[in-house]
């Protein structure tokens, strides 16, 4: 594996050197918005549509001049970049709230620029609710990544766990006729897959990255085979589960925009709402989480004070895998309604990137996963408004964002120090 | 003292696993391959509707049930054999031996791309970017082969060189992001694969770049010029072309580079122990960049092989999963020149045999399972040792380290 010497304390917050990279990238993005979308942008109006026609409370649409709006946002973005720069000069890390506000404004400008002059405008509810639904597998996959990397096991197999969950939930959901059983089966199956990863990595010290990649290859091979040789021959009885019903939470779902986006969803979304804060709480506020993190930071020290390193790692990786299995179920019975060949389509790998982008912290990881969910729906939506930018370049955006992010936008990120390091007792 | 030991054990454990994979113990490899085929057979049988039906009447006709199991396995692997090695039903020798030449044809790009991935393994990098590098190489080779007019051979060589250079640039991007910005190469290569795929599709859609003359909405290029095509190696009876020669040269070149040149010595040194290499005065960061550039160059050769041997225009499907298979080829081959060549041949045989399995009514997807299992067993020696109850190999690095640490205490 990569031979970057990891010395204890090397990644600790105290020694974290804020680099200027983040503020430079922000400044460049701000300039693109200011000049490209604003000053030299497209003349015309943008319509931001805030309400669905079916909604109880109707908000008026917001119409604004494209060039003026983007110019203003561009100036704000540059100001934010300047603020980040000042903070960096004072040896402070770019705070997360600043990046989030920056990202949100940049996205509004991008949407507006793409939809300038388009008759249907920017349908905010459609975009936001789909963003959330599409981000669920990424978020839950990201949680699996956090749980295993926080205890020191690199989990490249998220892709395989998602795919396993997707396949099992669809087949079991169809054959039993009960989607909840399908969901639980998906979690168990993905959990078992993680146990293979965990035991090989922890007990037998097989290289974690290699074993992860190979488990992905294995799951892709097995699901492809089962799909073509078994499931596809009798779709009606094996791969036709349908989806969970949407549950509208009383009163809350009547709030304009927010209600439709957050509180009228399937159970997979609500489970995510529970899992992310719980994981955050357990990781950072409980003894259990403290122990888990110590195992991931300095296993020798954890072992010395009596924590069972191998056991902790095994169970955290396994439970993480179960959560990823739920994410896989969200792909089929939580969204599409049937299993398709290799349907996870690299989302497990994006989840890996999301973990880094979110600095191994559940809430931030969720937010960065939402960014990717957004770019997926952007692809669909941008095709409808035909913005005059080649389609393939829009497809590229999330991957380029990840590249920029892992190369320093998120600052020098702090990985759990012992992540990827096997621990030999004795 | 305590800390030193900790670090030493950590390094040696992951080292020793890689060493074990690379040591290429032939017994263990053959057992892994055998076990992979056995489990593949179980998959074939369990999910064959005919077998399931015959077993549901097991009480009535147990003979039939048992023989149906046998026949399914024989049909499947028999078709694999006659599709990839020698067709026993052929009328003459030429038809009989054609499957073997097809295996060689499919193996060539796998070997070339596999060598690229193997090279980065030897430097201690996990490069899964062959897919993207091949895509970019394909774009370069196709631009030369469809948009330029040159004399034969020169045209083909130029297209190959351009493919190698384009792919290398893609590899250098990974190297720079890794060496200068500290980004993890696994994430970077995965992301660059997606970017390259979109870029390639865009090039194929763009009339001024690769889109075929009078082309419509589907991303597809013109047919490469005849002058740029890789010539036929064994005459018009066979599809085998000069790509095989490139593959053989690549294997020899890789062997010389890694085992005989000072350049390769540096690569291996960094792979064994980067800090020791740094202490010895090797610029580790530059070595990473070089390794990724050369590795991508091998992927570019595979791209040229694909782009210059195609009948008709290129589409995005031309990559055919070679980049992904290259990882497993490199792992199976233990990152050695000879091993990668053998592993490429095995996987080439799988590709060649897939269509005749389809004809025989067995889902060729089962080969994907077999492939994954074989490599998994080889990469994870404990599994195969547990299944066959093999003894543990002699004193491993860890044990030696532990003992020396104890003595030192």
Locate the chain A residue with the closest alpha carbon to B370.
Answer: A221
Measure in Å the smallest separation between the Cα of A9 and chain B Cα atoms.
Answer: 14
Q: What is the DSSP string of A254-275?
A: GSTTHHHHHSEE-HHHHHHHHH
Query: Is residue A264 one of the residues assigned to a domain?
Result: yes
Using the Cβ of A213 and the Cβ atoms of chain B, whether some distance falls under 8 Å is answered with yes
Assign A82 to helix, strand or coil: helix
Q: What is the DSSP string of A118-160?
A: -TT-EEHHHHHHHHHHHHHHHHHHHHHHHHHHHTT---TTHHH
B 87-106 near A (Cβ less than 8 A): none
Measure in Å the smallest separation between the Cα of B203 and chain A Cα atoms.
Answer: 9
Q: Are B33 and B332 in contact (CB under 8 A)?
A: no
C-beta neighbour count of A100 within 10 angstroms: 15
Torsion angle defined by CA atoms of residues A249, A251, A253 and A258, in that order, rounded to the nearest 10 degrees: -130
Structural tokens at position B201:
């599709």
pLDDT at A140: 97
Give the CA distances from residue B357 to residues B45, B48, B89, B363, B372, in Å, rounded to whole numbers and listed in that order. Answer: 14, 13, 15, 7, 18
CA separation for the pair A393, A252 (Å, rounded): 38
Structural tokens at position B94:
């030429």
Across the interface, of B9, B43, B187, the residue whose CB is closest to A424 is B9
pLDDT per residue rounded down to tens, chain A (426 residues)? 334 444 333 333 333 455 677 788 888 888 888 888 888 877 878 888 877 666 666 777 788 888 888 899 999 999 998 998 888 788 777 777 888 788 888 888 888 888 877 777 788 888 889 999 999 999 999 999 999 999 999 888 999 999 999 999 999 999 999 999 999 999 999 999 999 999 888 888 888 888 898 999 999 999 999 998 888 888 888 888 888 988 888 888 888 778 888 888 899 999 999 999 999 999 999 999 999 999 998 889 999 999 999 999 999 999 999 999 999 999 999 888 889 888 888 899 889 888 887 888 999 899 989 988 888 888 777 777 665 677 788 778 778 877 887 776 544 556 777 777 788 776
Query: Is residue A399 one of the residues assigned to a domain?
Result: no
Taking 90 as the threshold, does the pLDDT of residue B363 lie above it? Answer: no
Torsion angle defined by CA atoms of residues B55, B61, B65 and B68, in that order, rounded to the nearest 10 degrees: -130
Across the interface, of B14, B126, B376, the residue whose CB is closest to A218 is B376
pLDDT at B409: 45
Query: Is residue B401 one of the residues assigned to a domain?
Result: no
CA separation for the pair B253, B285 (Å, rounded): 24
Contact A3 B17 (CB under 8 A): no
Residues of B in Cβ contact (< 8 Å) with A372: none
> What's the whole-number mean pLDDT along residues B213-231?
84
Q: Are A334 and A244 in contact (CB under 8 A)?
A: yes
Identify which of B189, B337, B170 has the alpha carbon closest to the alpha carbon of residue B252: B337
CA separation for the pair A14, B179 (Å, rounded): 24
Structural tokens at position B270:
């960094």
Query: Is residue A6 one of the residues assigned to a domain?
Result: no
Sign of CA dihedral A4, A6, A12, A15: negative
CA separation for the pair A3, A17 (Å, rounded): 21
Q: Which residues contact A288 (CB under 8 A, 6 or more apart)?
A: A282
Q: What is the DSSP string of A20-40?
A: SHHHHHHHHHHHIIIIIIIIT
Backbone φ and ψ of B313, nearest 5°? -85, 160
Using the Cβ of A352 and the Cβ atoms of chain B, whether some distance falls under 8 Å is answered with yes
Identify which of B288, B154, B170, B282 has the alpha carbon closest to the alpha carbon of residue B229: B154
Using the Cβ of A395 and the Cβ atoms of chain B, whether some distance falls under 8 Å is answered with yes
pLDDT at A53: 66
Identify which of B108, B115, B113 has the alpha carbon closest to the alpha carbon of residue B136: B113
Give the CA distances from residue A355 to residues A150, A360, B104, in Å, rounded to whole numbers and listed in that order. Answer: 11, 5, 42
pLDDT at B403: 53
Q: Are B120 and B297 in contact (CB under 8 A)?
A: no
Could you list the residue range(s) of the whole structural domain that residue B336 is in?
A: 104-352
Q: Are A310 and A317 in contact (CB under 8 A)?
A: no
Query: Is residue A104 one of the residues assigned to a domain?
Result: no
What is the DSSP secondary structure assignment for residue B7, as one 8-state letter?
A: H
> What's the whole-number mean pLDDT along residues B87-101?
89
pLDDT at A56: 64
The H or E element spanning position B384 is helix B381-388
Q: What is the DSSP string of A351-381?
A: HHHHHHHTTT-HHHHHHHHHHHHHHHHHHHH
Higher-pLDDT residue of A360 and B13 is: A360
pLDDT at A65: 84
Higher-pLDDT residue of B11 and A329 is: A329
Contact B187 A224 (CB under 8 A): no
Taking 90 as the threshold, does the pLDDT of residue B218 lie above it? Answer: no
Higher-pLDDT residue of B46 and B170 is: B170
Backbone φ and ψ of B157, nearest 5°? -65, -40
Locate the chain B residue with the closest alpha carbon to A200.
Answer: B380
Residues of B in Cβ contact (< 8 Å) with A392: 198-199, 201-202, 205
Residues of A in Cβ contact (< 8 Å) with B375: 214, 217
Across the interface, of B190, B327, B363, the residue whose CB is closest to A225 is B363
Structural tokens at position A121:
């405008």
> What's the whole-number mean pLDDT along residues B81-87?
90
Measure in Å the smallest separation between the Cα of A153 and chain B Cα atoms.
Answer: 13
pLDDT at B3: 41
Query: Is residue A166 one of the residues assigned to a domain?
Result: yes
pLDDT at A188: 97
> What's the whole-number mean pLDDT along residues B343-359?
92
pLDDT at A405: 73
pLDDT at A17: 52
Residues of A in Cβ contact (< 8 Å) with B43: 222, 225, 229
Q: Are B163 and B313 in contact (CB under 8 A)?
A: no
Label residue B123 by pLDDT band (50, 70, 90). very high
Label residue B311 by pLDDT band (50, 70, 90). confident
Measure in Å the smallest separation between the Cα of B75 and chain A Cα atoms.
Answer: 15
pLDDT at A77: 92
Radius of gyration of chain A (CA): 22
CA separation for the pair B288, B273 (Å, rounded): 13
Q: Are A244 and B391 in contact (CB under 8 A)?
A: no
Instruction: Render the burial of B175-185: b for 16+ CB within 10 Å, e for the rest.
Output: bbbbbebebbb
Q: Are B129 and B330 in contact (CB under 8 A)?
A: no
The answer to ipTM > 0.95 is no
Could you list the residue range(s) of the whole structural domain that residue A209 is in?
A: 128-360
Please count the structural domains in chain A: 1
Q: Are A364 and A358 in contact (CB under 8 A)?
A: yes
Residues of B in Cβ contact (< 8 Å) with A356: 184, 187
Using the Cβ of B198 and the Cβ atoms of chain A, whether some distance falls under 8 Å is answered with yes
Using the Cβ of A228 and the Cβ atoms of chain B, whether some distance falls under 8 Å is answered with yes
Higher-pLDDT residue of B59 and B148 is: B148
Residues of B in Cβ contact (< 8 Å) with A210: 126, 331, 379
* pTM for the full predicted model: 0.86
Highest mean pLDDT among A51-65, B101-115, B173-187, B299-313: B101-115
The enclosing domain of B235 has a CATH number of 1.10.3470
C-beta neighbour count of B374 within 10 angstroms: 25
CA angle, B387 as apex, B381 and B391 as ends, to 5°? 65
Query: Is residue A301 one of the residues assigned to a domain?
Result: yes
Please count the structural domains in chain B: 1
How high is the mean pLDDT of chain B?
A: 85
Least confident of A183-192, B142-151, B221-230, B395-404: B395-404
CA separation for the pair A173, A185 (Å, rounded): 9
Q: Are A366 and A358 in contact (CB under 8 A)?
A: yes
Tell me how far the alpha carbon of residue A196 is from its chain's centroid: 24
Q: Are B65 and B50 in contact (CB under 8 A)?
A: no
């Amino acid at each position: 594996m990569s031979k970057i010497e990891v010395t204890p304390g090397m990644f600790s917050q105290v020694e974290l050197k804020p680099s200027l990279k983040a503020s430079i990238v922000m400044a460049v993005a701000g300039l693109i918005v200011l000049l490209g979308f604003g000053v030299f942008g497209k003349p015309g109006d943008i319509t931001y549509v805030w309400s669905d026609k079916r909604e109880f409370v109707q908000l008026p649409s917001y119409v604004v001049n494209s060039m003026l709006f983007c110019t203003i946002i561009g100036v704000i973005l540059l100001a934010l970049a300047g603020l980040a720069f000042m903070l960096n000069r004072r040896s402070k890390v770019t705070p997360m709230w600043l990046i989030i506000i920056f990202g949100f404004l940049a996205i509004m400008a991008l949407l507006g620029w793409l939809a300038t002059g388009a008759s249907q405008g920017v349908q905010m509810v459609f975009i936001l609710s789909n963003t959330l639904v599409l981000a669920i597998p990424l978020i839950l996959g990201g949680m699996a990544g956090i749980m295993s990397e926080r205890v020191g096991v690199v989990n490249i197999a998220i892709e395989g766990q998602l795919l396993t969950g997707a396949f099992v939930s669809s087949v079991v959901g169809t054959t039993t006729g009960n989607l909840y059983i399908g969901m639980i089966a998906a979690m168990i199956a993905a959990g078992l897959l993680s146990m293979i990863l965990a035991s090989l990595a922890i007990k037998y010290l097989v290289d974690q990255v290699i074993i992860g990649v190979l488990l992905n290859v294995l799951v892709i091979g097995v699901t492809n085979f089962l799909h073509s040789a078994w499931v596809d021959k009798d779709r009606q009885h094996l791969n036709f589960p349908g989806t969970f019903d949407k549950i509208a939470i009383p009163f809350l779902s009547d709030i304009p925009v927010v209600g439709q986006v957050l509180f009228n969803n399937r159970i997979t979304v609500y489970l995510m709402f529970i899992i992310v804060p719980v994981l955050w709480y357990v990781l950072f506020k409980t003894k259990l989480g403290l122990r888990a993190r110590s195992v991931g930071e300095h296993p020798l020290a954890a072992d010395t004070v009596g924590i069972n390193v191998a056991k902790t790692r095994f169970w955290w990786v396994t439970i993480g895998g179960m959560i990823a299995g739920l994410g896989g179920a969200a792909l089929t019975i939580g969204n599409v309604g049937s299993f398709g060949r290799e349907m996870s389509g690299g989302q497990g790998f994006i989840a890996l990137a999301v973990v880094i982008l979110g600095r191994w912290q559940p809430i931030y990881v969720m937010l960065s996963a939402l960014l990717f969910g957004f770019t997926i729906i952007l692809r669909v939506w941008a095709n409808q408004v035909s913005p005059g930018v080649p389609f393939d370049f829009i497809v590229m955006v999330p991957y380029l964002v990840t590249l920029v992010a892992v190369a320093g936008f998120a600052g020098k990120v702090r990985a759990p120090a012992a992540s990827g390091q096997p621990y030999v007792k004795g | 003292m305590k800390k030193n030991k900790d670090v030493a054990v950590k390094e040696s454990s992951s080292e020793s696993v890689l060493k074990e994979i690379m040591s290429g113990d032939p017994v263990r490899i053959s057992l892994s391959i055998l076990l992979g085929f056995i489990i593949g057979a179980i998959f074939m049988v369990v999910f064959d509707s005919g077998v399931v039906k015959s077993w549901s009447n097991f009480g009535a006709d147990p003979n039939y049930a048992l023989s149906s199991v046998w026949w399914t396995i024989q049909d499947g692997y028999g078709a694999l054999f006659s599709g990839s090695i020698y067709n026993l039903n052929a009328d003459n020798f030429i038809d009989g031996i054609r499957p073997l030449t097809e295996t060689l044809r499919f193996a060539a790009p796998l070997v070339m791309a596999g060598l690229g991935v193997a090279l980065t393994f030897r430097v201690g990098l996990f490069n899964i970017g062959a897919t993207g590098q091949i895509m970019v190489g394909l774009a370069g080779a196709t631009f030369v082969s469809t948009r330029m007019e040159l004399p034969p051979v020169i045209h083909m060589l130029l297209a190959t060189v351009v493919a190698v250079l384009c792919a290398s640039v893609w590899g250098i991007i990974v190297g720079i992001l890794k060496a200068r910005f500290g980004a993890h190469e696994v994430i970077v290569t995965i992301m660059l694969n997606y970017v390259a795929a979109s870029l390639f599709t865009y090039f194929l859609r763009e009339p001024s770049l690769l889109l075929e003359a009078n082309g419509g909405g589907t991303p597809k290029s013109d047919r490469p010029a005849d002058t740029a095509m890789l010539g036929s190696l064994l005459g018009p009876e066979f599809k085998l072309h000069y790509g095989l020669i490139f593959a053989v040269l690549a294997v020899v070149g890789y062997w010389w580079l890694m085992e005989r040149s000072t350049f390769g010595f540096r690569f291996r040194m960094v792979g064994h122990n980067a800090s020791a290499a740094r202490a010895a005065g090797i610029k580790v960061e530059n070595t990473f960049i070089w390794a990724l550039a050369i590795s991508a160059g091998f992927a570019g050769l595979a791209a040229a092989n694909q782009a210059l041997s195609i009948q008709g225009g290129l589409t995005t499907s031309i990559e055919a999963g070679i980049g992904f298979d290259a990882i497993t080829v490199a792992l199976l081959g233990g990152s050695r020149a000879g091993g990668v060549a053998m592993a490429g041949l095995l996987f080439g045989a799988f590709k060649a045999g897939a269509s005749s399995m389809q004809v025989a009514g067995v889902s060729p997807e089962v080969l994907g399972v077999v492939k994954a299992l074989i490599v998994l067993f080889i990469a994870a020696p404990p599994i195969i040792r547990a299944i066959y109850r093999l003894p543990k190999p002699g004193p491993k690095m860890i044990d030696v380290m532990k003992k020396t640490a104890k003595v030192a205490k």
